[in-house]
Structure 1
Amino acid sequence: MDSSHSTKESGDIPIPMTNSKSSKAASPPLVTATTKKTAKQPLVSRWKRGLGIFDFILRICAIGAALAAATAMGTTSQQLPFFTQFFQFKADYNDLPAFTFFVIANAMAGAYLVLSLPFSIVCIVRPHIIGARLMLLVFDTVAVPLVTAAASEAASIVYLAHNGNSNANWVAICRQFDDFCQRVSGAVVASFIAALIFVVLVVVSAVALRRN
């Protein structure tokens, strides 16, 4: 009797074990989820940084292609050795508006690519940034039709220069102005390469933003 009475007076309350077991059972998933999240973040950062480096390399290549196209076309001129008192046989790029537009479009594309390099570096240093990547995506998308239109328009003129058009009585001038045609043909190829690189840049930026 004394022992039971002392137990009641001590005021000890039995603690149920169900809550502690349930809390212990619930704690491991939280620790596991946090570990998976922290392990995934460095992997995504490395992947985005790799995309940024690839973007920077592509922009360097596009600068070379666009400026080479503009320079080759803008310095193209050929004068035939034979001429008369009233006529001088000369071919110059600014004789055709399509070639003039070609030079302006590729020069603008090359200038934009040079200005975009610092933003591409920012995307490498801070791979999770969205503002700079979105800006590059917008301007790259605008550059694609600009360069493609210039290259396509110049390509049509080059085709006529090489083959002519018998229905319109247009003769093929490349038989005489061979140096002129070779330079403008090379410029058109370089411009199409720049347009293709712009398309790849758009895809790279879209993928990088999608992964955010």
Structure 2
Amino acid sequence: MSTSVDVPESSNVEKGRGVTVAAARPGGTKKGLAIMDFILRLGGIAAAISAAAIMGTADQTLPFFTQFFQFEASYDSFPTFEFFLISMAIVGAYLVLSLPFSVVTIIRPHADGARLLLLILDTVFLTLATSSAAASAGIVYLAHNGDQNTNWIAICNQFGDFCLATSSAVVAAFAAVVILALTVVMSGVALRSR
């Protein structure tokens, strides 16, 4: 003699399974975004500090007839490059200090306070990085091409190493800008998702 019970399938059973799967992985999407945020911050630190270091070492001296009369190109000859160096160092320091908050969002994916704080601060430092990178890109462009209307001559024909260093620093700064923009977008997506 066998005992069998016929249980009809209902939509409640399917809903129960969906809830069980979601309960097994609490904060799956938010945790994945938090891990990606942490990795991007590490890349942003490397980009911002490299940009500051490359700009800080940009220096070239050319002798002219004698050793006593020389032409020098250095980052501190241009106020824009000084602003660039200081702002990229500040952005790099901020990204280092933001790592613990990023770890908090990994450990506690539903901690929206830490994520909101990062979103606000990332937006502020994204603005700082963008302004310094854009201003320096303008000076690098003038160094490469000059401007005949204002009698600004292109100096990169003579100061090739200096121009290469400043161009590399600006590229690294724009990499940091892109990374910060991605962290802002990801924080917004994580705050929006339930």
Deviations 1:59-104 (A, max 9, x none): 0000000000000001111100335587420011011110000001
Q: What one-letter code is carried by the residue in structure 2 that aligns with 1:70?
A: A
Deviations 1:174-199 (A, max 9, x none): 01000000000000000001001100
Determine whether 1:91 maps to 2:73: yes
Determine whether 1:101 maps to 2:83: yes
Per the alignment, in what secondary structure is the counterpart of residue 167 of structure 1?
helix
Deviations 1:153-183 (A, max 9, x none): 0000000000011111111100100000000
RMSD over aligned CA atoms reads 1.9
* TM-score normalised according to structure 2 size: 0.88
Larger Rg: 1
Larger deviation: 124-133 or 182-191? 124-133
Amino-acid identity (%): 55
1:168 to 129, 150, 155: 150
* TM-score normalised according to structure 1 size: 0.81
1:36-115 alignment, distance < 5 Å: 36-43=18-25, 45-82=27-64, 84=66, 87-115=69-97
Residue of structure 2 in register with 1:142 after alignment? 124
> 5+ residue gaps in structure 2?
1-9
Q: What one-letter code is carried by the residue in structure 1 that aligns with 2:142?
A: L
Quote the Cα distance in structure 2 between the aligned partners of 1:167 and 1:32.
73
Query: Judging changes above 3 Å, is the alpha-carbon distance between structure 1 residues 31 and 174 closer, same or farther for their aligned structure 2 residues?
Result: same
1:29 deviates by 7.6
Larger deviation: 81-90 or 135-144? 81-90
Residue of structure 1 in register with 2:111 after alignment? 129
1:48 deviates by 1.4
CA contact (8 A) 2:63 2:69 kept: no
